[in-house]
Structure 1
Amino acid sequence: MASAEHDFQHFVRWLHEPLVGASPDARRMGNLVLRNFDAVIATTRNRSQRAIRIVELARAQFAQVNDGLPELDAIAVGAGWGWRSLTELTLGPFRGFRHPETFDLNKRLILFYGPNGSGKTSLCESLEYGLLGAVDEGAQKRIDAGQYLRNIHENRFVAPQLRGVDLAGQLMVITADADAYRFCFIEKNRIDSFSRIAAKPAGQKTELIAALFGMDHYNEFVGQFNEALTEQLNLAPLRGQELELRQNAIANDVGAVAGEALAGAEFHRVEEAYAQAYTDGMTYRQLQEAVGWFGVPGRLQELELTLNQPQPSLYGVRSQDLVTAYQEAEEAHNEVEALSQQLGRQHDDVAYQELFTAIQGLQAVSPDRCPACETPLHGNPRVQVDPYHKAAQGLEQMRELTLLQQGYQAALGRRRAASDVLSACLAHFTQRVGARIDSENAVCRYLAAPGVVADTAWWRLGFAEVGGAPSIAQQAVNWAAQLEQTDATTQQNLAQRAMHVAERDRLNEARIALAEHAARRQQAQLAIEGARQRIAEFEVQNAELIEAAAAESELIAAEQRIQQAYNEFLALLRRHRSELPGTLMAGLNAQALQLYNEFNVRDAEQDKLAELHLPVTGEGRIELCFRGAPARRVDALQVLSEGHVRCLGLAILLAKASSIQAPTLIFDDAINAIDHEHRQGIREALFESERFANTQIIVTCHSNEFIKDIQNHVPQNQWLAYALMHHHGDYHPRVIRNLPPQAYLVLARAAVDRGDYRAALQFSRQALEMLTLKIWKWLCKCNQGVLTVQLAKDGDQPSLSNLCGSICAKLRGANTFEHVDKQPLIDALARILGIGEQTLVWRYLNKGTHEEADRDDFDAGVVEGVVQLLESMSALRLRS
């Protein structure tokens, strides 16, 4: 079979397919293993041998290995069928063949038989080498090909030469192609392994299914990979850990230096946020410029200069207030004068009023006597008029005068108050303008000494006009109006100054905040510089360790890369192996089922298969349904016997070969892997059915009986037989060609041709026994297999004549059974049984197989007729 290396090349090709999705390093690992395949396959997973070897190879070569598809061997190309059949094989020195031997393969069936150790395996290995380009057995035993294939007596080997006929019928030299021809081989060992699949754990069943197709070496190769390379790789950063322990002492410094950019960015963010909060749209730089941060006077210095100028004062004088004070004083004085004139006109009434008021005042002192004469007010003598009553009446009569007097007094109070207000207003005016008596300005002199006299209209002196000029009072009012205008202007200036003060105060607060920001930034920078200095000192002190840790880190990175590549590579390798059953068994269900049923033709109808389901994944099971319970699917490996499992394995192999239209099948002692019970069905399916009628079949077998049966059931022009026998001391197998056939009718014909009629009849009787069994099986396939046979005693086997008679009677009585071979069989059997005039046939058949003394010679014509009769029966196709 194809070697594990060849199958691995297929994996490498698959690994490079885009749909697989393998990483470049996984492909690189596959290429590395392929490049060093011999070194890798020489190891096993025992004691991590393979892991150790792969790590050694990867460390030396992994980085240099290309991740592209490598150039693969020619046998991995898979060119397909280029020939129709094999015609000649020349081998030797090669394995057990010491000298060159040439074998003619110009027949549909090539039969090699001989005892064990006679060279059959070497012959098959020469075919394997010629078709596949390698011999897998040597690779499995880990023996160099040149060493394994050499003949030990010649100490060399010559590559076997294999010739064939191409599709155009021209002779050609066969070129090895393992992909195209690997399924041409069917080996005993593979069927044996498959028969033991039921006893294997589930994890090994996938391997044995692939082993059925000759890929067991590849599966073993895949199975020998260790799970991981962890223990073999240097993944522990010892120097790095030591450095890390030391670096913990300066971890904060390293973090500070590492975070310098982030810290600077955070400072910048805070500063810009502050500037934005100060004035929307302002940058921190602009704010710094505003407070004069860069030595150039900014807005703050400008405001300071402005606010340091003397603050203008307010006069606080209002012309309207002065005018109003003049008016109120004048109005109060006018009222006093008006009331005084009214009181002057009522001067006498005033005297009486005073008198009456005085009398009422004495009433409390002398309530019962006259206050003037002390005359009693009551009794005798008494006054004529009560003075107190008269005073009350008089005062009542003089109420208006009283009210006038009261109004006058009130007017005097108002004049006094208005005078005080005007005096105070002039005094305030004087104080605000700083007027003095000695001032050159007449208004100032007036304001400084306005001539205030209590209870007089002193202000009227300022009303006098001189020479048509405004009075001094009016000049004072006008000056107050001017000062009021000046105050308005001053008020505006003061309001603007307040805004400047507020702006200055905010800028001063910002200046302080900026100083705090700068201090924090400077402090952080000093801390980073200190950390950087400590780091530099640390690096100087630990330079050797840092260098070692860096080198170690690069090494670990390379080791981790190898580990990751190996893990992915191994997963894909196992996936590829897991998908093999589905790849190999795709589309074989129906054909394998038919072959299995043909192999088990003697089984009861209900024990034959109704369905067969081959696995499509590595974890799948072979499942089947019997015709007796077609709806029930069961695990084939649990219900089938070992013999049936072998038949199933052979059926799968033949179905695979048939599905790819293999032109040649090579059975390496495979028939001996099947028990005798099933060999008949296998023989009929292989050599007598139409399925493989156009397929060349090469058989090696140590069962002479099986070879004999083939020759008896296949026309002589279709087969060629060789016998391989043990050497006679020259260490070279004896090859016997032109063997006498074991086919009974061929032997009978040869005996007739040489005049040995007794031998011809003996072989004819054996041929008849074979033909009756063949006819009976044919009747069974045609649902006519129930026969009535006479037996001599209980437990006895039916005699040949009785069996022939029963078959003949069955055919005669089957009125509804129509077949092209029916009547020829009836006629032939009638002649054999001696019906009518044909009485010598059966007598001759019996005499030919029994020894009799002084027996007459046989009639040559009768013997010829017997042989011809049997040859005509054998020529019938007997198809269902």
Structure 2
Amino acid sequence: MASARQDFERFVRWLYQPERQVTGDVRRLATLALANFDELAGTSRQRSQRSSFLVSLMRRELGDTAEVPPAGIAEASAGVWPWVRLRHLTLGPCRGFRSPEPFDLTKQIILFYGPNGSGKTSLCEGLEYALLGDVEEAGSKRIAARTYLANIHDRRFDPPVLKASDQQGREVDVIANLDTYRFCFIEKNRIDAFSRIAARPNAQRAELIATLFGMDQFNEFVRNFNESIDGQLVLINDQQNTLTLRRNALAADRLAVEGAAASLQILDEEESSLAKEYAVELTYQALKGLIGSAEAPGRLQELDDILGAIPPNILGITRQGLQNAFAEAHQCSEELDAVINDLRAKSDLVSFKTLYNSVLALQQTIGDRCPACDTPLTGVVVDPFGKATDGLQKLGELGALQDKQQTIEVKLGQASRELRQMLTSLCTFVNAHQEEETAIGRWVLQLPAEPVGRWWTDIYPQMPAGPHRLPSLEDILAFVDRMVAQDDASRRAQRERQPHIDERRRLNEFQLKAQAQDLKRQQLQADIEAARNRIKAFDETNAGLIAQADQEVLDIARDTPYKAAYDRFLEALRSYRDQLPGQLLAGLNEAAKDLYNAFNRNDREEDKLSALYLPLTGDDKIEISFQGNPEVRVDALHVLSEGHIRCLGLAILMTKAKSIGCPVIVFDDAINAIDHDHRGGIREAIFESDHFTDTQLIVTCHSNEFIKDIQQHLPAQRRNGCQVYLLRHHDGNYQPRVSGNIPSANYIAKARAAREALNDRDALAASRQALEMLSEKTWRWLGSHDLGVLNLMLAGVGAEPGLRNLCEALVKKLRDSQTFNHANKEPLLIAFSRILGIPANNLVWTYLNKGTHEEADRDDFDGELVESVVQTLEELDRLDLRARR
């Protein structure tokens, strides 16, 4: 997180600028956060980790933190760098280097190449630590840099020793400073990430520039601040509010106590009204006396006793009624006796009636025969059936008498039952008064439930007492008189009972009202007593809450400034982060556009950029306009291909480095992040143009061809300023094999080296390769001046033009272009004419051709002619054949 720390330190310095309108608390909080940066960066917004850490830190140390800006080195600007070129590096033990390895860095261009895993990345990370004091990859993995850089075999790390030359050419030690040298590094990973972010939704592109410039760690650091720290602060009077609520309740208690007399007076008035509701002149205590209690029974208990005594049932028997019942039964008995006597006097007639009824009954069975002898009745003197009919008519009075007998018998039975039923009341009275052993009791109780015959005749009419001492009718009537008296008393009690019931019901209702009133008085008295007790015990009971409320006031006074400071601090931090793109990209539009177009030299002119608009805030877009339609601005990330986006990212990084005058740019495998189609343009813009002639360039690359192409196309005057290192895998000792004496791969340099060794064959072989390269370079140069159309002869479909044909076509184009005047024109004609054997009888071309083949027993080459070829190519190489030159 060193880069994030450095960016945060710059933010703190930014806060202390005089024009920044921020409070002292915000500046002190920023200073405190910087002093505890590592612990702070180790927290995240999850579960409010960061806000909890910050609050604890502020409470503990903010008051003692001085409002002073952090001590730091001002940002480097052009002309004030402490050195101008790196001189020497000693690396190891460090990552893949097990033992110290020296590197000569005095050249302007230093190229490192080798297979993957041979130590190129370890070399770059050693340079990064020497220049920046940290390694970004270690920070992203949250590993300490020294731990990350330790050699895994020796488990040891020695800081790299980096030397440089200052403006006076003196050797100086390079002192690591991330803020000063951070833009000296261009890494493949950043360009890859830049192209990947381009494919993300717009909402996620705010990280674009931060990622490109290696500030994504700072972005991540800023994102991990919580929106608020309110949850960790004491800002609300919770305890004080609770105490206030309780004191408000205590105020209600005081009101209750102070109003006790008035409340009791109201109860007295309610009780008096209740008593007067019962009776106008009655007092409440008198009403309570009527209601009574278990200890002092009152009218209500008296009424309960009265109503609890149930009067006897009314028997309903009277003297006259009983006499009438006896008389009715006696009369029916006498009438029945009279009828029976009459029937007994006519008993012979009764027999005839029976006979006549029998004869008539037989008539239905035997018809017209004699019922006695079964003789036909035809011609008889007297018809028996007619005689029976006449006899029955004459005996009609007898039938009436018999019917009367039956009627009187029914009437007599009814009178007997009614009399017996009436005497049942006597049984009830006897039992109620326990008089079973009296004469009347014994007599009435021995009567059967359904007596038969004339059972009353012993009593009525009045008979003298018999041997069994039966009661007389007068005795029974006197007994009935007692029963009548009881009935009269019962009727009188029933008449008097209803007022008692009504009185008891009303007293019961007032008893409930009085009980409610008493309960109300008890509750009031209990509430008043409880209120008095709470008032007495409040301070003791709430001592803890009172202390907490007092502390809460202090805590709020302490924490409220923290909230304000944090909110303004976070607002300023995010504002600074959002301004970073504008700060980083200020003034880069035109230079980055030109460099981008140089990278894409082979694109059509209308597809090159007319303008580039880099974002000024995190929310802005990278916009471009094309030369084919310069008036229209479009989102670069929408219209550019991935390869072009990578070129744009590289152009921005290099323009930034150049804008601040970086004395060195280190390419950590960055070229391999660019597709093959754009590498030629990038090579030409970086190594062949004048853009970076004053900048030391250190390149690591696993592409041998790209390293070779750099050496081939370097301008002749800069060729000696190039150093090439080859890194290869270790041979068992875990130390990369480093070769620093790699001869130049430039064809002309190889030809000159071979000529100096009198190896004319190799000199001519390299010369042919050089001629192919220079011919193509000349053709491209003519094309930049609109003279690139050549007439060439091809051997067939898909065949490449012959080298001699290409040279002849170039000479013809130069000669035919009468209006084309350029300083290079005549030297080119002379050089190519000499190569082609012009004037006549020149065997240069023949020797060039033969120099590329192996022949046995061949004569030696003409040394002077070979020298002439090499010199001619050297002259051609010294010409400035860059596009549009």
Matched residue of 2:19: which SS? helix
For normalisation by structure 2, the TM-score amounts to 0.64
Q: Which amino acid aligns with 1:612?
A: L
- The aligned residue for residue 726 of structure 2 is 723
Taking the TM superposition and a 5 Å limit, the aligned residue runs for 1:26-175 are 26-72=26-72, 80-175=80-175
Query: What is the deviation of 1:549?
Result: 2.0
Does the 8 A contact of 2:790 with 2:813 survive in 1? yes
The answer to whether structure 1 residue 803 and structure 2 residue 806 are counterparts is yes
Distance in 1 of aligned mates of 2:92 and 2:126: 9
Distance in 1 of aligned mates of 2:34 and 2:138: 18
Distance in 2 of aligned mates of 1:143 and 1:854: 67
- The aligned residue for residue 261 of structure 1 is none
The correspondence for 1:735, drawn from 735, 738, 754, is 738
Does the 8 A contact of 2:79 with 2:661 survive in 1? no
User: Can you list the C-alpha shifts for 1:669-721, whole angstroms capped at 9, x where unaligned?
Assistant: 11111111111111111111122112211111111111111111225711011
Q: Which runs of 5+ in 2 are unaligned?
A: 256-530
The correspondence for 1:775, drawn from 754, 758, 778, is 778
Query: What is the deviation of 1:778?
Result: 1.2
- The aligned residue for residue 758 of structure 2 is 755
The answer to whether structure 1 residue 785 and structure 2 residue 750 are counterparts is no
Q: Which amino acid aligns with 1:803?
A: L
Distance in 1 of aligned mates of 2:247 and 2:762: 104
Does the 8 A contact of 1:48 with 1:226 survive in 2? yes
Taking the TM superposition and a 5 Å limit, the aligned residue runs for 1:578-617 are 578-617=578-617
Distance in 2 of aligned mates of 1:53 and 1:838: 90
Does the 8 A contact of 1:30 with 1:569 survive in 2? yes
Q: Which amino acid aligns with 2:20?
A: V
Distance in 2 of aligned mates of 1:241 and 1:736: 80
Distance change >3 Å, CA 790–CA 52, structure 1 → 2:
farther
Taking the TM superposition and a 5 Å limit, the aligned residue runs for 1:315-354 are none
Distance in 2 of aligned mates of 1:555 and 1:804: 90
- The aligned residue for residue 821 of structure 2 is 818
Which 10-residue stretch deviates more, 668-677 or 201-210?
201-210
Matched residue of 1:785: which SS? coil
- The aligned residue for residue 679 of structure 2 is 679
Does the 8 A contact of 1:77 with 1:179 survive in 2? no
Distance in 2 of aligned mates of 1:615 and 1:556: 43
User: Can you list the C-alpha shifts for 1:586-610, whole angstroms capped at 9, x where unaligned?
Assistant: 1111111111111110000100111
Query: What is the deviation of 1:851?
Result: 4.3
Matched residue of 1:181: which SS? helix
Distance change >3 Å, CA 150–CA 566, structure 1 → 2:
same
Distance change >3 Å, CA 2–CA 39, structure 1 → 2:
closer
Distance change >3 Å, CA 177–CA 245, structure 1 → 2:
same
Which 10-residue stretch deviates more, 179-188 or 586-595?
179-188
- The aligned residue for residue 207 of structure 2 is 207
The answer to whether structure 1 residue 865 and structure 2 residue 875 are counterparts is no
- The aligned residue for residue 749 of structure 2 is 746
Distance in 1 of aligned mates of 2:735 and 2:57: 44
Query: What is the deviation of 1:818?
Result: 1.0
- The aligned residue for residue 621 of structure 1 is 621
Distance in 2 of aligned mates of 1:733 and 1:20: 52
Does the 8 A contact of 2:75 with 2:180 survive in 1? no
Distance in 2 of aligned mates of 1:618 and 1:838: 71
- The aligned residue for residue 655 of structure 2 is 655
Q: Which amino acid aligns with 2:615?
A: P
Q: Which amino acid aligns with 1:577?
A: R
Identity of matched residues, %: 55
Distance in 2 of aligned mates of 1:748 and 1:605: 37
Taking the TM superposition and a 5 Å limit, the aligned residue runs for 1:401-420 are none
The answer to whether structure 1 residue 571 and structure 2 residue 574 are counterparts is no
Distance in 1 of aligned mates of 2:560 and 2:857: 97
Distance in 1 of aligned mates of 2:792 and 2:46: 66
Does the 8 A contact of 1:582 with 1:616 survive in 2? yes
Matched residue of 2:569: which SS? helix
Q: Which amino acid aligns with 1:211?
A: T
Matched residue of 2:90: which SS? strand
User: Can you list the C-alpha shifts for 1:608-667, whole angstroms capped at 9, x where unaligned?
Assistant: 111111111111111111110011111111111111111111111111122122222211
Does the 8 A contact of 1:41 with 1:221 survive in 2? yes
Query: What is the deviation of 1:74?
Result: 9.0
User: Can you list the C-alpha shifts for 1:342-380, whole angstroms capped at 9, x where unaligned?
Assistant: xxxxxxxxxxxxxxxxxxxxxxxxxxxxxxxxxxxxxxx
Distance in 2 of aligned mates of 1:872 and 1:608: 34
For normalisation by structure 1, the TM-score amounts to 0.65
Does the 8 A contact of 2:195 with 2:642 survive in 1? yes
Distance change >3 Å, CA 49–CA 114, structure 1 → 2:
farther
Q: Which amino acid aligns with 1:835?
A: I
Does the 8 A contact of 1:28 with 1:62 survive in 2? yes
Distance in 2 of aligned mates of 1:125 and 1:88: 15
- The aligned residue for residue 713 of structure 1 is 713
Distance change >3 Å, CA 688–CA 745, structure 1 → 2:
same
Taking the TM superposition and a 5 Å limit, the aligned residue runs for 1:526-545 are 538-545=538-545
Matched residue of 2:84: which SS? strand
CA RMSD of aligned residues (A): 2.9
Distance change >3 Å, CA 791–CA 82, structure 1 → 2:
same
Q: Which amino acid aligns with 1:218?
A: F
Distance change >3 Å, CA 650–CA 546, structure 1 → 2:
same
Distance in 2 of aligned mates of 1:813 and 1:76: 54
Matched residue of 1:593: which SS? helix
- The aligned residue for residue 548 of structure 2 is 548
Query: What is the deviation of 1:73?
Result: 7.5
Query: What is the deviation of 1:564?
Result: 3.1
Q: Which amino acid aligns with 1:132?
A: L
The answer to whether structure 1 residue 644 and structure 2 residue 647 are counterparts is no
How many matched pairs? 605
Does the 8 A contact of 1:623 with 1:636 survive in 2? yes
Distance change >3 Å, CA 730–CA 44, structure 1 → 2:
farther
Distance change >3 Å, CA 169–CA 568, structure 1 → 2:
same
- The aligned residue for residue 198 of structure 2 is 198
- The aligned residue for residue 634 of structure 1 is 634
